[in-house]
Amino acid sequence: MESVSENRYPNIFNADQAGLVNACNLLRSGELVAFPTETVYGLGADATNPKACASIYEAKGRPSFNPLIVHFHDLSEAQKRVVFNTKAEKLAQVFWPGPLTLVLPRTENCDIAELCSAGLPSLAVRVPGHSIAHALLKQSGLPLAAPSANASGKISPTKSEHVAYSLGNKVSCILDGKDTACAVGLESTVIDLTGDIPVLLRPGNITKEEIETVIGSIQLGKSLMESKAEQQVSSETPTTEDTCQTQNPLKSPGLLKSHYAPTLPLRLNATEVAGDEALLAFGNKPLLGSSCCLNLSEEGDLLEAAANLFAALHELDQNQGISGIAVMPIPDTGLGLAINDRLKRAAAPK
């Protein structure tokens, strides 16, 4: 299997059979593989492997946990992980495979890492149309979590070289889509179908009008309405991930609080723990005194801690007879930034 681009970027590989076999093996062992889709290149990881998903955030250098889109080979694979309603089924029939992402409730036995949902009860799912993405999903047999394959805050990549330039050796393998990749060149349209009225969270190639011809009227997400109002006063803005995030309704503080907070109060940077508190520990010296303790990582490994974070919070939050959750200090470096960002939101007054 040969890398392309005259080895200028040694991690770019042809997406031929040998390249696909190698990519599948890497994904199965928890590594990251960037692959072309019809929208932009995705930074893919086995969505059922929490550590692999955590390494996506690490590679992108994201200071917070945005939820991730999970890509499937076909509709039936997606249906095992999220609950489809009639409107979602209609949209999938018309627009899949293609540049449309549906946000739907996770199924009860959903095997996708909780990190992909960033603590939400929903999951964003998509069946991409590009032949290489399709082949990778089929041959690996894995659902793939994949945000755009660029460092946080940078422009989304539409060529394999863009990925190599932005992420360097943080990605083991970049499958080259050559001239066939990213015909759309813009991230997928994202629509939230978890409520009574569907909400457009991110505009894309599939338009509001096209969607409405299939399922009737939909609403614009709150932040999209805000950005529409802003556009009337400001001129052109560059299309970086940052500007995409201003369109992210999860940024709205009200939504963040109601979506992200556990029911129990959280106490951060705890140096001692009361008997009626649950303990979220980190490192090899967990505080003594709590009857209910989960350790994010005994080795003090931030990747492992990120992988365990949401599942641990959910589990501790379900304890009866506990007054709150005490959280031991987490270093504020690397993935620790995103972990602490999440914990601070969870600890904010409700």
Edge-to-edge, what's the strand order for the sheet holding 69-71? 12-14, 173-176, 33-35, 42-46, 144-145, 69-71, 122-126, 100-105, 189-192, 199-202, 219-220
Q: Which is nearer to Mg ion, 34 or 325 (CB)?
A: 34
Q: Which is nearer to ligand TXA, 48 or 148 (CB)?
A: 148
**49-88 footprint of Mg ion as x/- string (CB under 5 A):** ----------------------------------------
Q: Which is nearer to Mg ion, 146 or 218 (CB)?
A: 146
**30-59 footprint of ligand TXA as x/- string (CB under 6 A):** -------x-xx-x-----------------
**228-267 footprint of ligand TXA as x/- string (CB under 6 A):** --------------------x-x-----------------
Q: Which is nearer to ligand TXA, 250 or 328 (CB)?
A: 250
Q: Binding ligand TXA by CB under 6 A: which of 4, 20, 32, 68?
A: 68
146 binds ligand TXA (CB under 6 A): yes
148 binds Mg ion (CB under 5 A): yes
Q: Binding ligand TXA by CB under 6 A: which of 24, 32, 164, 190?
A: 190
188 binds ligand TXA (CB under 6 A): yes
From ligand TXA, Mg ion, none, which one binds at residue 120 (CB under 5 to 8 Å depending on kind)? ligand TXA
Q: Binding Mg ion by CB under 5 A: which of 38, 114, 176, 241?
A: 241
Distance set, CA 287 to CA 40, 87, 206, 234, 329 (Å): 45, 49, 52, 52, 11
Report the residue closest to Mg ion, judged by CB: 148
What is the nearest approach in angstroms of ligand TXA to the Cβ of residue 350?
A: 20
151 binds ligand TXA (CB under 6 A): no
Binding residues with ligand TXA: total (CB under 6 A): 27
What is the nearest approach in angstroms of ligand TXA to the Cβ of residue 194?
A: 8
202 binds ligand TXA (CB under 6 A): yes
What is the nearest approach in angstroms of Mg ion to the Cβ of residue 123?
A: 17
Q: Which is nearer to Mg ion, 44 or 324 (CB)?
A: 44
From ligand TXA, Mg ion, none, which one binds at residue 103 (CB under 5 to 8 Å depending on kind)? ligand TXA
Q: Which is nearer to ligand TXA, 26 or 146 (CB)?
A: 146
By the 8 A CB rule, do 72 and 143 touch? Answer: yes
Angle of the 208-215 helix axis to the 86-95 helix axis, nearest 10 = 120
Q: How many Å is the Cα radius of gyration of the chain?
A: 20
Of 260, 241, 240, the closest CA to residue 250 belongs to 260
CA distance 218 to 189: 13
Q: Which residues of 296-319 are buried (b: 16+ CB within 10 A; e: fewer)?
A: bbeeebbbbbbbbbbebbeebbee
Residues near 202 by Cβ (< 8 Å), separated by ≥ 6?
A: 101, 187, 188, 189, 190, 221, 224, 244, 247, 248
Two structure tokens written together for 109: 């036995």
Q: CB neighbours (10 Å) of residue 15?
A: 25
What are the start-end ranges of the H helices in the chain?
Answer: 17-28, 50-60, 75-79, 86-95, 114-117, 131-140, 160-167, 208-215, 222-233, 241-246, 253-260, 302-317, 335-347
Q: Which residues pair with 267 in a beta bridge?
A: 326
By the 8 A CB rule, do 239 and 245 touch? Answer: no
Instruction: Summarize as ranges the residues that interact with ligand TXA (CB under 6 A).
Output: 37, 39-40, 42, 66-69, 101, 103, 117, 120, 122-124, 126, 146-148, 187-188, 190, 192, 201-202, 248, 250
Instruction: Summarize as ranges the residues that interact with Mg ion (CB under 5 A).
Output: 148, 241
